[in-house]
Structure 1
Amino acid sequence: MTLSTLDLIIVACYLLGLLLLAYQVSREKSGHAKGTNDYFLAGNSLPWWAIGASLIAANISAEQIIGMSGSGYAIGLAIASYEWMAAISLIIVGKYFLPVFLKRQIYTMPQFLQQRFDNRVRTTLALFWLAVYVLVNLTAVLWLGALAVNAVTGLALFESMLLLALLSLTYSLYGGLKAVAFTDIIQVVLLVAGGLFLSYVTLQQIGAGAGVLAGLDQLMLQAPDKFDMILSPDHPHYASLPGLSVLLGGLWVMNLSYWGFNQYIIQRALAAKDLAEAQKGIVFAAFLKILMPLIVVLPGIAAVLILPDLAKPDQAYPALMNLMPSGIKGLIFAALVAAILSSLASMTNSVATIFTMDIYRQLKPAASQQHYVLVARLTGVGALLLALVTAKPLLGDFDQAFQYIQEFTGFFTPGIVALFLLGMFWPRTTANAALAAAIGSALLSLLAKQFWPELPFMDRVGLVFLSCLLLAVLVTLAEQKPVPATAVQLSDIRFDTKPAFNLAAVAVSLVVASFYYAWW
């Protein structure tokens, strides 16, 4: 055990405050029982600040903090492209995707696919997302979170995973999305404060007490190769971040899929009071996303100088935490636990939402609202139990789990983005074309992986995306069907945004461009 009594008190106060807030926001008025809209979409009551905070809290978890710090240690600042390009992707989602989804009044992404195409597409994608959320996302958060808890407290890995799972269930199982979203406000404040403080302390140490800027100068001077945003072909990690393809290729596909069509992310925006509130929340999240590399990447780069002999890159963040003084370590550890619990709760709620609304409800369409909520709670418990027993076998042998997650999801995201974009913006797209894109994505990715192994996965994502677009267009044209009645009608959807949103979009783009200009 390396946490002092003061550290434990800080962590305990955080957990107690979290549970009290979750209970407070989850309480229903006397005589009112939670229905599906309450449990899955917070009664469409989320304000912009809760949406923005919850988007980031759901996104930044163990695989981000531990995984991206590890990639910062191994690769450098180039891994921040995932964060900074995501900020611009969020703006695109807010302007062009949210108006369509909110107009359709959907609970889940598979539900939209049924409205637009047919039940085959809905069920196929629902089963895919359930598998990915449980066997990739939940396992990654549990495993990497347990690594951090083990490194700081000495608690065994399985017991650490079990503790994290139980803590997330204590506040999310009863309250649903509303409890998750409003407690995320605490999570984000703690995450940002703890992460920034860790970066501050590490830079102070590198600067030998001369200040943060002096520490940053020393870091850039002694590890200049870690500050290349665009990697050259001879870089040892070029396959992970292939040069200009980061700006022009598959990363756009990955980001649009994650921020636009990913249930456990977009569900917060679907729960907004209205479109304007959802778009304000998206903008808030975009600005927070710009800040994230200071929290999740910079400490990993600093660890190159402070802890140059780590056995695995993913040990960077936990090892840095152990260097912190008593009290500060408790604050940073609480921030890490906050990020882990938030993502676990978000993913569990979204697994429950998809299974209940897209699978179970089709089998029992006449059940009561309270019955569906019960099924959702049981599903959440089952999902976490399955993730607990599969986490170590799936992830135990990887040095950089973040890169593993990206490559695995890259097999499927090209087809998902292709079928959603065509489904929303090309009325003629047929259900068979959507299925062809979804199935073709996996097959083409596997073939490319097998017969073109030297192709960087990000380039593969971009090429498979273009192939899926072409495949879906060819299938649609070959069927020669009239425009389906389910086609999205864009004439009554307003894509124009308020001046404040447009100004924020320009600001986000300029800030991101300046970073690439500075560290080209």
Structure 2
Amino acid sequence: MATLDFIVIGLFALALIGIIIWVLKQKQNNSADYFLGGRDATWLAIGASIFASNIGSEHLIGLAGAGASSGMAMAHWEIQGWMILILGWVFVPFYTRSMVYTMPEFLERRYNPQSRTILSFISLISYVLTKVAVTVYAGGLVFQQVFGIKELWGIDFFWIAAIGLVLLTALYTIVGGMKSVLYTSVLQTPILLLGSLIILVLGFKALGGWDEMMTACKSVVVNDYGDTMTQLIRDNRDPQYPWLGALIGSSIIGFWYWCT
């Protein structure tokens, strides 16, 4: 890494610390302040929070790698992001009228405390295993590759970076609540967008352009039924992404992910 790289990372870290300190100084009077950021967040902060909470190292590394190895059919799972419109038009007004902040809380009011405990347990386990673990793993790899450090104090630097990310994120989220997540996301979102754009441009430059990429991908047959990497809709006999299974499965998961 060059000196400029360290300066950029240092400035980002200082800005992040500054936001966290500012949030911690804000007074939080009740659970609404903690879970909803005091209800005074702007549309920009809310949008940035949704974006940054969904997009991370698991996308820039994990999904990008999965797409490169399996093709466009992988995009089925991301296309369901349109369901956030259902969240805004249908579910958010309902949650607001119900005066609940989380789905487990809603189940407790609708049914009983046991249902709240069960959903909380299932949600935590599934979230850790399907999203957090991948995000932390990819983040640890990024830090190891960026800094070029294999070991530190006799410990694989990957584990130091991964555990450090978990502890830092948990610290400012638990202490600062939703407001800390909101305003750190405002900082992270433009960096994610700019970084993704730079990666896209450099990638196309290395490949020789869009046409070269499409030509190369169209030449790769992914199953015994003639489908190529560029096809979003594959034969229903495809072992990985049969179009009907991918459509139904991604819709169910998308509805759960975005609306509950």
TM-score range for the pair, normalised by the shorter chain length? 0.7 to 0.9
8 A Cα contact 2:236 2:244, kept in partner:
no
* CA shift digits 1:81-117 (9 cap, x unpaired): 2222212x11122222222111111121101011112
Q: Say which one has the larger Rg.
A: 1
Partner residue, 1:161:
162
Q: Distance in 2 between matches of 1:250 and 1:148?
A: 30
* Alignment partner of 1:220 is 2:214: yes
Indicate the percent of aligned positions where both proteins have the same amino acid: 31
Pair 1:74–1:116, CA change in 2 (3 A): same
Partner residue, 1:17:
15
Gaps of 5+ in 1: 208-214, 262-520
Note the 1:331-370 alignment, pairs <5 A: none
Gaps of 5+ in 2: 150-156, 219-227
- What amino acid maps onto 1:107 in structure 2? Y
Partner residue, 1:40:
35
8 A Cα contact 2:28 2:38, kept in partner:
no
CA-CA distance at 1:33 after TM superposition: 5.3
Partner residue, 1:266:
none
* Alignment partner of 1:243 is 2:251: no
8 A Cα contact 1:53 1:184, kept in partner:
yes
Q: Distance in 2 between matches of 1:34 and 1:169?
A: 21
CA RMSD of aligned residues (A): 1.9
Partner residue, 2:86:
92
8 A Cα contact 1:62 1:144, kept in partner:
yes
* CA shift digits 1:18-59 (9 cap, x unpaired): 22123224422xxx5553222222112222221111111111
CA-CA distance at 1:137 after TM superposition: 3.0
Pair 1:167–1:8, CA change in 2 (3 A): farther
- What amino acid maps onto 1:93 in structure 2? L
Count matched residues. Answer: 244
Pair 1:257–1:149, CA change in 2 (3 A): same
Partner residue, 1:258:
257
Partner residue, 1:285:
none
Pair 1:129–1:169, CA change in 2 (3 A): closer
Partner residue, 1:184:
185
Partner residue, 2:222:
none
- What amino acid maps onto 1:231 in structure 2? R
* Alignment partner of 1:206 is 2:204: no
Q: TM-score, normalised by structure 2?
A: 0.86
Q: Distance in 1 between matches of 2:233 and 2:136?
A: 31
Q: TM-score, normalised by structure 1?
A: 0.45
Q: Distance in 2 between matches of 1:120 and 1:71?
A: 38
Q: Distance in 2 between matches of 1:240 and 1:53?
A: 33
8 A Cα contact 2:28 2:34, kept in partner:
no
* Alignment partner of 1:71 is 2:89: no
Partner residue, 2:3:
5
Note the 1:389-428 alignment, pairs <5 A: none
CA-CA distance at 1:190 after TM superposition: 0.6
Partner residue, 1:193:
194
Q: Distance in 2 between matches of 1:85 and 1:169?
A: 28
Query: Which of residues 93, 107, 115 is equivalent to 1:113?
Result: 107
Pair 1:144–1:181, CA change in 2 (3 A): same
SS in 2 for 1:223: helix
8 A Cα contact 2:104 2:120, kept in partner:
yes
SS in 2 for 1:226: coil
CA-CA distance at 1:258 after TM superposition: 0.3
- What amino acid maps onto 1:220 in structure 2? M
Q: Distance in 1 between matches of 2:35 and 2:77?
A: 28
Q: Distance in 1 between matches of 2:70 and 2:128?
A: 28
- What amino acid maps onto 1:242 in structure 2? P
Q: Distance in 2 between matches of 1:52 and 1:33?
A: 22
